Amino acid sequence: MPPSASAVDFFQLFVPDNVLKNMVVQTNMYAKKFQERFGSDGAWVEVTLTEMKAFLGYMISTSISHCESVLSIWSGGFYSNRSLALVMSQARFEKILKYFHVVAFRSSQTTHGLYKVQPFLDSLQNSFDSAFRPSQTQVLHEPLIDEDPVFIATCTERELRKRKKRKFSLWVRQCSSTGFIIQIYVHLKEGGGPDGLDTLKNKPQLHSMVARSLCRNAAGKNYIIFTGPSITSLTLFEEFEKQGIYCCGLLSVRKSDCTGLPLSMLTNPATPPARGQYQIKMKGNMSLICWYNKGHFRFLTNAYSPVQQGVIIKRKSGEIPCPLAVEAFAAHLSYICRYDDKYSKYFISHKPNKTWQQVFWFAISIAINNAYILYKMSDAYHVKRYSRAQFGERLVRELLGLEDASPTH
C-alpha cells in the first residue's frame, strides 16, 4: 500500500466496492419484495452506494463511542455527533436499517442457517488470504466478543431480559506475531435441548470439527498451531501432522479428549514435585509433558523437542525452568490475550436481534481490526501514526464523505 493510503483504502482491501454494490442491490430487492407483500412504503427510495457507505460508517462509529444505540448520534444527548448527523437524516438511516440485507432471498438448495451472510463471509475469507501471509506460529481460540461488563453492570434487569442470548460461537485462527485474524469459523447453535451449543460447549468432537475447519487451508505449510484444552487431543494432532501442520496444546484431564494418552501422566503424584520439574513421555514425534509450577500443567506437542530447555520469567520468583514447548505456549498465548484486551474494545456495539446481522457486524469489526494491523505494517503508518481509535474515527468520516480519502501531510 502506498504511503498516501487512507483508512478506507485498507478497509476496502476486505470490503471492496463490488461487495458494497451487492449489498445495495440485495437491500433494494428485499425492500421491493417486502413492500409487495406488506404494502407500499411511501417514504422509501432505493438506496445508493454512497448511502450504503454512510450506513456502514454510522454503524462503525458505535465501535469508537461504545454506545449501544446508533440512533443516539441524532439524539442531542451525550453521544450525539452533529457533524455525522448532518450527512443523513435519522429517518433515512432507520429505513436503510429496516431493509438492510446481504442476501435478500434463500435459494432453493440453501439449507445453511447463515445463508443470509455466508457469501459475505466467503468473500472476506478470500480477501484475508490474499492480503496477508501469516507467521509460522498461530493460535486457535474464541475471541472476546461478549457483552461489555460495564454495560452489564449498569443496565437494568428489564434491558437484560429484552436482549436475546447469542445463538452462535465464533472461533478464529490468528497469527500470533501480529494478531491478524486469518480465518473465521461460525458455529450456529442448533436450538435448545440436548444438542444445543451450551451442551456441546465442552464436547471435544465439536471443538475438533472447529479446528479442522479453521485449518483446512493450512496444510503443507509447516505452521505451528497453539490450542487450548478443549481442542487438544492426540487423534487430532496426529491427523494434523500427516497434513504438515504441527501443534502445541495445553491438556486438561477434565476438558480434553485424553484417548490414547498414558494414564500415569494424567494423574497427579501424592507429593508435589519442586517448581519447574517436569516429566516427559514420547511416542514418535509426539511428546506429553507434565510440568509443575504451583500446580500440574500438561502439554501435548509435536512442534518442539521435549529436551530443549526454556525458561519462564516471573517478576517475583525469578526464572523457572521448563521445556521450550511450555515457554513458547506461554509467550504466544499472552500475546493473543494482550491483542484481545486491546482490540475487542473496538467491536461494533450495535446489537441486532437477528443472528445473521450479529455475525455480519462481528465480521465487519474483525475486518477493521485486520485493516488496522495492515496499516501499522505499511508505509502509510509513518505518514500519520493513527492509534486504533483514531483509525476508526478516520474510517467513519471517510465512509461518510466528510474527509478526503487521502491523509493530509
The 8-class DSSP code of residue 257 comes to B
Radius of gyration of the chain (CA): 24
Task: Read off φ and ψ for residue 225, nearest 5 degrees.
Answer: -105, 125
Nearest Cα to Cα of residue 118 among 26, 208, 180:
26
Residue 26 lies in a domain: yes
The 8-class DSSP code of residue 297 comes to E
Residue 249 lies in a domain: no
- The per-residue pLDDT for 407 is 44
In one letter, which amino acid is 169? S
- The per-residue pLDDT for 165 is 65
Burial state string for 150-164 with b = 16 or more CB within 10 A and e = fewer than 16: eeeeeeeeeeeeeee
Residue 169 lies in a domain: no
Residue 32 lies in domain: 1-110+381-408
CB 13 within 8 A of CB 127: yes
**Residue 73: CA atoms inside 13 Å, Cβ hemisphere, count?**
27
d(CA 136, CA 118): 28
The 8-class DSSP code of residue 395 comes to H
The pLDDT tens digits along the chain (409 residues) read 888 899 999 999 999 999 999 999 999 999 999 888 888 888 889 999 999 999 999 999 988 877 778 888 888 777 677 888 888 999 999 999 999 999 888 776 666 778 889 999 999 999 999 999 999 999 998 876 655 544 445 555 555 555 556 778 889 999 988 889 999 998 887 644 444 444 444 466 788 888 999 998 888 899 999 998 888 899 999 999 999 999 999 988 888 888 888 888 888 887 878 888 888 999 889 999 998 888 889 999 999 988 888 887 776 777 888 899 999 998 888 888 888 778 888 888 888 888 899 899 999 999 999 999 999 999 988 888 899 999 999 999 999 988 765 444 3
Residue 366 lies in a domain: no
- The per-residue pLDDT for 193 is 40
- The per-residue pLDDT for 196 is 45
- The per-residue pLDDT for 10 is 95
Classify strands 224-227 and 286-292 as parallel, antiparallel or unpaired. unpaired
- The domain total for the chain is 1
Residue 62 lies in a domain: yes
- The per-residue pLDDT for 409 is 37
3-class DSSP state for residue 377?
A: helix
CB 291 within 8 A of CB 272: no
d(CA 188, CA 169): 7
Residue 324 lies in a domain: no
Whether pTM > 0.75 for this model: the answer is yes
- The per-residue pLDDT for 258 is 83
Nearest Cα to Cα of residue 287 among 342, 237, 354, 329:
237
287 C-beta neighbours (distance < 10 Å), count: 21
Residue 199 lies in a domain: no
Residue 206 lies in a domain: no
- The per-residue pLDDT for 104 is 82
